[in-house]
Structure 1
Amino acid sequence: MKTEYLYKTPKTLLNKGTGFLSGYSHSLNPYTGCSFGCSYCYVRQMPVSTFRNAEWGTWVDVKKDAAHVFQKELQRAKTKGPVTIFMSSSTDSYQPIEHKEQITRSLLEVMANDPPDFLFVQTRSPLVRRDIDLLLRLGKKVRVSMTVETDLEDIRKHFSPNAPPIPARLKTLQLLTEAGVPTQATIAPVLPSSEGFAEILRSLVDRVCVDDYFMGDGSGGRRTRNLGIQTLYKQIGMEDWYHPAAYRMVYERLLQVFSKDQLYVSQQGFEP
């Protein structure tokens, strides 16, 4: 799927943390749109997507001069109280174009020099490993959350064919952990996985968050139902996995190898 890139100069980057992200003072999106185009992405049902006359996954807006705008906003926000940032809420900060444009890296450079109280980086891209040097400068004020919805590549390809391969994400978790970057694996949304998934994660991280459509799409699963995701489960004969109780099976498997205080469910796992 070809992606169209548009270049825009933003007037603002920091948005007030609300709803699912109400624990944060701000959210931060280096890009608008997402070339990964995952079938289940809740952003497909949000105004940023529905008001765009193009299919989700086919366009990305690159925010030029973002670091300059962000630096001023960050300084201003700090005068009003603690600054906790969720990056990103409606895109992936590590779009493939980030290799070239380095918008996200420029924002991290600002934060490395003038740290917020906390930064949560949510991504499914192995490109985050490029920025280990900057993440380490943030010390315990950062956590990188790597999305690994499943350990099965055929499942990943069925639901999100344009997203990065699972093995590359797992390798990135290993590299981040070994480097000393605070890291968690995020199984969100829960997709069909093997019984050995928990054991794989145990060798890589000491913190896991589990979330699903019904808790995490911001509408009790309504947005996801509107996307017709259940059909994708029927195509592979795994309708049982599309159920509010499915996450419990994964959670119980995780409990076999993780302690309870290392496991988080839905919003709890994304809090600062």
Structure 2
Amino acid sequence: MQIEVSRKSAKQLLNRASGYLEGYSHTLNPYTGCAFACSYCYVRQMPVALFRGGGDWGTWVDVKDNASLLLENELVKAKRKGPVTIFMSSSTDPYQPAEVTERVTRSLLEVMVRNQPDFLFLQTRSPLVTRDMDLLELLGAHVRVSMTVETDREDIRRAFTPSAPPIAARLRALRELAARGIPVQATIAPALPSSESFAELLSHIVDRVCIDDYFMGDGSKGKRTERIGVRDIYDALELPDWYSPEAYERVREQLLRYFPQERVFVSHEGFLP
């Protein structure tokens, strides 16, 4: 699929966190739009996607070409007012394909290395994050990389997120990050259909996991996801029982056989600073 990439100057980079991310002082999105175009992404139902015009969600990306300069200034001001805890990112993936050449996310990490926030939660599904391990190491305990791994089944990944990186590549990235001592977690969000060996597989790679689903995590108790029509994919796969508020429990029970209870987080608690 051809992605339209535009360059724009942002007026603001650090935005006050609220709602699901109330544990953070700010959210930070290096890009607007996301080429991974995950079928279940709740951002599809947000104004940034509904009212932009010029193409469906996943077909365009706006690059914030003044991002690092903005962050340099905004971070200084924000730290004067109190602790700065940043969630990056809430409505895009900071390591989507455009980052390979644009390097906006890397430029932001360089700013944060020079003037460290109290905490940075880096949410991605892209193995490209390993490119920046040199900077993540310098942030030390002030950062956690959360890698989305919704399933261990590649056929399920292709059905729900055909433009996203393969599962095996994400798991390799987690291993590399953990080996360098960078704090990580595997985030099963949403909990898609998976095999009985999923939890055991993760237990050999990470020591912390977070599990979430549409009904807890889409900001509207599953209503946004229902409007998107994701249920149709479950029906086509003949796995309708996985589309329910109880489905995540089967994965959680599996996780608790391999992880201590205090290392298995559910929804909001797994994303807190």
The two structures share one fold, judged by TM-score above 0.5? yes
> 2:124 maps to what in 1?
123
> 2:269 maps to what in 1?
268
Q: What whole-Å deviation, never above 9, does each CA across 1:43-82 have from its counterpart, x for those lacking one?
A: 0000000002220000000000210111000000000000
CA separation in 2, counterparts of 1:112 and 1:52? 33
> 1:219 maps to what in 2?
220
Runs of 5+ consecutive residues of structure 1 not aligned to the other structure: none
Give the drift of 1:184: 0.1
CA separation in 2, counterparts of 1:244 and 1:221? 9
> 1:72 maps to what in 2?
73
CA separation in 2, counterparts of 1:188 and 1:258? 17
Aligned residues: 272
Aligned sequence identity (%): 62
Q: SS of the residue aligned with 1:60?
A: strand
- 1:19 and 2:19 aligned: yes
CA separation in 2, counterparts of 1:105 and 1:229? 33
> 1:8 maps to what in 2?
8
Scaled by the length of structure 2, what TM-score is found? 0.99
> 2:242 maps to what in 1?
241
The one-letter code matched in structure 2 to 1:61 is: D
The one-letter code matched in structure 1 to 2:21 is: L
Q: SS of the residue aligned with 1:256?
A: coil
Note the 1:185-204 alignment, pairs <5 A. 185-204=186-205
CA separation in 1, counterparts of 2:11 and 2:235? 44
Q: What whole-Å deviation, never above 9, does each CA across 1:96-134 have from its counterpart, x for those lacking one?
A: 011101000000000011100000000000000000010
Q: SS of the residue aligned with 1:79?
A: helix
Structure 1: which 4+ aligned runs deviate by more than 3 Å? none
> 1:144 maps to what in 2?
145
Runs of 5+ consecutive residues of structure 2 not aligned to the other structure: none
Q: SS of the residue aligned with 2:81?
A: coil
Note the 1:19-38 alignment, pairs <5 A. 19-38=19-38
Q: What whole-Å deviation, never above 9, does each CA across 1:14-53 have from its counterpart, x for those lacking one?
A: 0001000010000000000000000000000000000022
> 1:158 maps to what in 2?
159
Alignment RMSD (CA, Å)? 0.5
Q: What whole-Å deviation, never above 9, does each CA across 1:149-205 have from its counterpart, x for those lacking one?
A: 000000000001000100000000000000000000000001000000001100000
